[in-house]
Amino acid sequence: MSSQSVNAALLSMEKAEKHFHGVHALKGVSIELRRGTVHAICGENGAGKSTLMKILMGVYTADSGSMRMKGQPVHFLSPRQALDAGIAIIEQELTPIPDMTVAENIFLGREPMLFGIFVNYAELNRQAREVLGRIKITLNPTRKMKTLSVAELQLVEIAKALSYNSEVLIMDEPTSALGEKETDVLFEIIASLKAQGKGIFYISHRMKEIFRIADVVTILRDGEYICTRPASELDTDSLVSLMISRKLEGQYVKENVPSDIPMLTVRGLARKKSHQPISLELRKGEILGIYGLVGAGRSEFLESLFGVARADGGEILVNGGPVTIRRPYDAIKNGLAFVTEDRKGSGLALILSVKDNTSLTSIRKFNKNPFINRRRESRDVKMAIDFFGIKTPSERQLVRNLSGGNQQKVVLGRWLLSNPGILLMDEPTRGIDVGAKREIYKFMSDFAGQGNGIILVSSELPEIMGMSDRILVFKNRALCGEVRRPDASEELLMRMAT
């Protein structure tokens, strides 16, 4: 190797500028990735992290700026070119092709062939099994993507990125749908990639992860480059204050005390394929947490409860009266709302504008009197935008153009406008930055304080412990225990869940 290529950064970007219609997403950002390092990019929702990574990956072209790989100028016009040059990405927003199998998705465009014309499926599936094995998941490669859970989709995406054996790996929120166990496996892989001299850009809103694996941290704020520091010189407080200008103190904890009046009673609700019979009671003013590992049946239970999937036994009572929930419409009619973990699949119609999205579920409410309600709709949408600090140039912006975290806020705003009494939340702060998380926690606390109830499914222990009055633990698709808030500790919950 020449001395130049030894000293040169693996990948570097000089003064990247990027405008989208009405948004100055990157304002002259420079960054340098060294071999054998995990380089974290931190910043609030909408800071420009994904945009910067998409420029490196050839998804977007920068308005100006220059890029080098191992000292040589490069200019990628498509992700294909970046891949060929040795850069792979795990994207924040997953884009599976629903009708393809896991193996077809992983090797899309580079399937092993027979006689140059037929796809060699046996070989394809064998290779897919091998790549999946690297991240220690036993997922049948012939399964259709549309049958996978969000966590499984994310794992497939990781396997796919790894299968290119690239020198540079970009990971944009790779763990947002993963639990502790899968995250540990990913971190082992990252350690071994590092040891092989590869470079990794890592984006996450989970501070704990940044301090566990990052060597270097670059901070962006509002599209601007703030600084780059060794991770060892930072702690959570200093990092957060570099990311956001306002001050945050400590962890947010739910404020009010629940009553003992039952709001929602579930008796033996079962769905053979996905979970055992489950019984629980949610009280007025309560946040009931559900903790468990990925695949423990938590999301499936919420789906049965909301009528997304048909339960095959059990009773549901709302405010003491029995109700029948066969589809989401029945649930909404009975005052339930469901913030799903999969914002793309079920939470958001990505093509619609922020305004259409926030008012979608409350459309019937608005339709009663078209004249007044048009105005009221506008007012309510503005309220949701303000309330959650949704960063959008206008309420007419298409949702798919918002940053990942801001899309999640649109999902929340949309349900907030439907005036529910009972809120089911599945990983509600997925991809949400530290500042906005607090706003959501505050909202949850106030919402419960007004005599409503929340069931919160979360894989983040600090979140579940700070926000829940009681915590139910799921294991192997069944309810396996209950912990009251004063008795909860990370160790206890982890032990019960595994």
* Positions that interact with ligand ATP (CB under 6 A): 20, 23, 25, 43, 45-51, 92, 391, 401-406, 431, 433
In the complex, least distance from residue 178 CB atom to Mg ion, rounded to whole angstroms: 17
**435 and 248 in contact (C-beta within 8 Å)?**
yes
Nearer to Mg ion, 381 or 412 (CB): 412
Residue 43 touches which member of ligand ATP, Mg ion, none, C-beta under 5-8 Å by kind: ligand ATP
Give me 248's structure tokens: 């945050």
Nearer to ligand ATP, 283 or 391 (CB): 391
Nearer to Mg ion, 373 or 397 (CB): 397
Burial label, 211 (beta-carbon count in 10 A; 0-12, 13-18, 19+): middle
In the complex, least distance from residue 405 CB atom to ligand ATP, rounded to whole angstroms: 3
In the complex, least distance from residue 470 CB atom to Mg ion, rounded to whole angstroms: 34
In the complex, least distance from residue 409 CB atom to ligand ATP, rounded to whole angstroms: 9
Give me 194's structure tokens: 């590092």
Nearer to Mg ion, 205 or 414 (CB): 205
Q: Which residue number places its CB atom closest to Mg ion? A: 50
In the complex, least distance from residue 199 CB atom to ligand ATP, rounded to whole angstroms: 19
Residue 406 touches which member of Mg ion, ligand ATP, none, C-beta under 5-8 Å by kind: ligand ATP
Residue 125 touches which member of Mg ion, ligand ATP, none, C-beta under 5-8 Å by kind: none
Binding Mg ion (rule: CB under 5 A), the pick from 92, 304, 392, 406 is 92
CA distances from residue 14 to 26, 27, 89, 140, 299 in whole angstroms, order as listed: 12, 11, 20, 43, 43
Residue 20 touches which member of Mg ion, ligand ATP, none, C-beta under 5-8 Å by kind: ligand ATP
Nearer to Mg ion, 209 or 330 (CB): 209
Binding Mg ion (rule: CB under 5 A), the pick from 223, 285, 307, 404 is 404
The number of CA neighbours under 13 Å toward the Cβ of 464 is: 29
Q: Which residue number places its CB atom closest to ligand ATP? A: 405
Contacting Mg ion within 321-380 (CB under 5 A): none
In the complex, least distance from residue 411 CB atom to ligand ATP, rounded to whole angstroms: 13
How many residues sit in the footprint of Mg ion (CB under 5 A)? 3
Of 185, 166, 173, 159, whose CA–CA distance to 106 is shortest? 159
Residue 458 touches which member of Mg ion, ligand ATP, none, C-beta under 5-8 Å by kind: none
Nearer to ligand ATP, 301 or 441 (CB): 441
Residue 456 touches which member of ligand ATP, Mg ion, none, C-beta under 5-8 Å by kind: none
CA distances from residue 205 to 54, 151, 279, 289, 342 in whole angstroms, order as listed: 18, 17, 34, 21, 17
Nearer to ligand ATP, 106 or 217 (CB): 217
CA distances from residue 218 to 35, 328, 332, 391 in whole angstroms, order as listed: 16, 43, 43, 22
Q: Quick one: which segment of 92-100, 112-120, 186-194, 321-329 binds Mg ion (CB under 5 A)?
A: 92-100
Nearer to Mg ion, 125 or 204 (CB): 204
**432 and 408 in contact (C-beta within 8 Å)?**
yes
Nearer to ligand ATP, 64 or 367 (CB): 64
Q: Per-residue x/- mask for Mg ion, residues 30 to 69, rule CB under 5 A?
A: --------------------x-------------------
Nearer to ligand ATP, 391 or 437 (CB): 391
Nearer to Mg ion, 404 or 421 (CB): 404
Residue 174 touches which member of Mg ion, ligand ATP, none, C-beta under 5-8 Å by kind: none
In the complex, least distance from residue 48 CB atom to ligand ATP, rounded to whole angstroms: 4
In the complex, least distance from residue 92 CB atom to ligand ATP, rounded to whole angstroms: 6
Q: Which residues bind Mg ion (CB under 5 A)?
A: 50, 92, 404
